[in-house]
């Protein structure tokens, strides 16, 4: 899709996509933003509502980075295990400023996954905070990780800054180019890890150009103003939370209100109201909670509410529209694309789709047997990753073939370029030779029982290949109701689960996505089945 197509669809003049702005490091991008908007300008409201200016972040990053680089070399990965906040942003910039590569560690994924990440990215040093370890109960995790990596607590680093660290910050705030590294725009800028919803996580290497290109693409796609205030409750180890929630606001001159966890709906609603936030980035799972606890008027300051990472349900749209007068915008992205690939926009919002492609991107649909009028989405563009890192070849980046990334998602694209997600290819069941989307099964259950959580999985079936099992938190769920709903709404009988298993809770990842690995393990040999 060309930029002209994007502009025509919106009916507005759109500032052109500026590829030249991506030819620098992320740290250099922050320095340029400081020069443009002023060092005394507040850019971050931290988790305790304290204010951080561009100067505060720059000085902190320079001193911290100078201290953290000890014992590492340029191009080496340094683990960052921190919640969303000014500390995470400053630490990302600190590591990057001196030519090291931040590896963002998901501390909610368990010891095995984090240790695998350390091996994959060859991480020997981890920056974290005592406060996080204490409040999140991570001491046992840290004890395990300390067997293979040096644990550095930011509180200790700040308390013991050397004279040279302080000199680096003092001189660097006036002449940052003299004190810091100048990596190629196409060098690795960050290592993130896939969520592992259906298997072992992989390392994803994103370049400075990748990250800055996606920031620029989002700027072009959505009308953003310097007066905007973005509230970001998404974790920094999640690509949406890092690129859009943490890096984009200061790079574009927006203010960001950082919240350390998306799991505090009352506190988040209070902070939206207090700061009069105009932009919220969230997921379906989390924004549903915010809408329910918030009173009418609490969210009235929001003008852009963008949901990604998981399917946005019709029930969620209806709740936000009826109670808060908010029209949700659904977007779509993957870690491998830094992450945003497509998004709806105000005035060009088509529910049931994830909107149109970002500027300067290309797509193709590869045919999938048994799924008509759709295909496997493959994308290319300046935001598509350098490549994967895998545990069986630590430190080696394997680039995507020809620059094209296979998302693994099955989609359809209409004549106006709006993309509709049918489901992950791994999230289709094969029943009697027919392909059935498990997302459709979950949609049926959500429509019937919107106040409960649902997850559809498959188990082998000797006669038909596979059968569908619905895992639900509704103790009154029964197959008879789903059969009736499916018949009344024209849903294929193949999408009706053969079994229903009731559980207390549907497990989710720190990103808000359903943790299907854990869900699969919840299926009992014999359990409460309706």
End-to-end CA distance of the chain: 48
What is the structure's pLDDT at 184?
94
Cα separation of 375 and 411, whole Å? 6
Taking the mean position of all CA atoms in its chain, how far away is CA 482?
32
Cα separation of 530 and 522, whole Å? 16
What is the structure's pLDDT at 214?
97
Cα separation of 238 and 241, whole Å? 5
What is the structure's pLDDT at 434?
62
Residue 376 in contact with residue 369, Cβ under 8 Å? Answer: no
Count helices and strands in the chain by DSSP H and E runs: 19, 26
pLDDT in tens, 63-113: 999 999 888 999 999 999 999 999 999 999 999 999 999 999 999 888 888
Instruction: For residue 489, count CB atoms less than 10 angstroms from its CB and return exposed for 0-12, middle for 13-18, buried for 19 or more.
Output: exposed
The structure's pTM equals 0.83
* Paired tokens of 5: 């197509």
Cα separation of 269 and 299, whole Å? 7
Domains of the chain: 3-420 (3.40.50.12780), 432-522 (3.30.300.30)
Cα separation of 102 and 94, whole Å? 9
Cα separation of 310 and 496, whole Å? 22
Give me the long-range contacts of 263-269 (CB less than 8 A, separation at least 24). 264/233, 265/289, 265/290, 265/292, 265/293, 265/294, 266/293, 268/231, 268/233, 269/293, 269/294, 269/298, 269/299
User: Which mean pLDDT values do the consecutive 10-residue runs of the chain (530 residues) have?
Assistant: 39 54 90 94 96 95 92 94 96 95 92 90 95 93 94 92 81 78 94 70 93 95 90 93 96 95 93 96 90 93 89 89 93 94 94 94 89 90 95 90 92 94 72 69 85 85 76 87 78 79 84 76 57
Crossing angle of helices 3-10/208-221, nearest 10°? 30
**DSSP bridge pairs for 412:** 420
Q: List all residues 6 or more positions away from 464 whose beta carbon is below 8 Å from its beta carbon.
A: 431, 432
**Residue with structure tokens 């620098």?**
24
Cα separation of 404 and 385, whole Å? 9
Cα separation of 511 and 262, whole Å? 9
């Amino acid at each position: 899709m060309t930029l002209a197509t994007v502009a025509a669809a919106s009916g507005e003049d759109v500032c052109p996509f500026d590829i030249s702005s991506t030819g620098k490091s992320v740290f250099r991008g922050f320095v340029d933003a400081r020069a443009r908007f002023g060092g005394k300008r507040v850019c971050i409201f931290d988790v305790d509502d304290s204010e951080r200016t561009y100067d505060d972040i720059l000085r902190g990053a320079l001193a911290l980075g100078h201290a953290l680089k000890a014992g590492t070399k340029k191009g080496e990965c340094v683990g960052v295990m921190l919640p969303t906040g000014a500390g995470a942003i400053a630490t990302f910039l600190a590591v990057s400023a001196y030519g090291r590569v931040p590896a963002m560690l998901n501390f909610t994924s368990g010891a095995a996954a984090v240790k695998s990440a350390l091996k994959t990215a060859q991480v020997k040093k981890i920056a974290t905070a005592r406060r996080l370890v204490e409040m999140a109960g991570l001491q046992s995790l840290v004890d395990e990780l300390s067997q293979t990596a040096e644990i550095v607590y930011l509180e200790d680093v700040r308390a013991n800054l050397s004279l040279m660290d302080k000199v680096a910050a003092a001189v660097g705030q006036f002449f940052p180019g003299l004190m810091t590294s100048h990596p190629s725009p196409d060098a690795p800028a960050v290592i993130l890890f896939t969520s592992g919803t259906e298997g072992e996580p992989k390392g994803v290497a994103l370049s400075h150009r990748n990250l800055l290109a996606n920031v620029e693409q989002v700027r072009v796609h959505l009308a953003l103003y310097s007066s905007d205030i973005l509230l970001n409750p998404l974790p920094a180890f999640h690509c949406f939370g890092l690129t859009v929630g943490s890096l984009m606001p200061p790079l574009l001159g927006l203010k960001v209100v950082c919240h350390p966890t998306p799991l505090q709906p009352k506190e988040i609603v209070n902070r939206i109201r207090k700061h009069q936030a105009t932009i919220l980035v969230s997921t379906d799972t989390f924004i549903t909670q915010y809408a329910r606890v918030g009173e009418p008027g609490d969210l009235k300051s929001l003008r852009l509410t963008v949901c990604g990472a998981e399917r946005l349900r019709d029930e969620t749209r209806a709740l936000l529209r009826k109670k808060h007068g908010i029209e949700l915008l659904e977007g779509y992205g993957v870690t491998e694309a830094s992450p945003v690939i497509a998004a709806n926009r105000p005035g060009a919002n088509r529910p049931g789709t994830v909107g149109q492609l970002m500027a300067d991107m290309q797509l193709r649909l590869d045919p999938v047997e048994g799924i008509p009028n759709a295909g496997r989405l493959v994308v290319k563009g300046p935001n598509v990753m350098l490549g994967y890192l895998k545990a069986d070849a630590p430190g080696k980046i394997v680039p995507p073939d020809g620059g094209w990334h296979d998302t693994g998602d099955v989609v359809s694209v209409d004549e106006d370029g709006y993309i509709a997600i049918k489901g992950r290819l791994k999230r289709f069941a094969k029943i009697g030779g027919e392909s059935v989307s498990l997302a459709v099964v979950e949609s049926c259950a959500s429509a019937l029982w919107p106040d409960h959580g649902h997850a559809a999985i498959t188990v082998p079936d000797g006669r038909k290949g596979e059968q569908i099992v619905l895992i639900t938190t509704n103790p009154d769920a029964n197959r008879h109701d789903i059969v009736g709903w499916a018949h009344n709404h024209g849903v294929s009988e193949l999408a009706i689960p053969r079994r229903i298993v009731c559980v207390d809770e549907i497990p989710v990842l720190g990103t808000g996505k359903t943790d299907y690995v854990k869900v699969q393990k919840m299926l009992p040999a014999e359990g409460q089945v309706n």
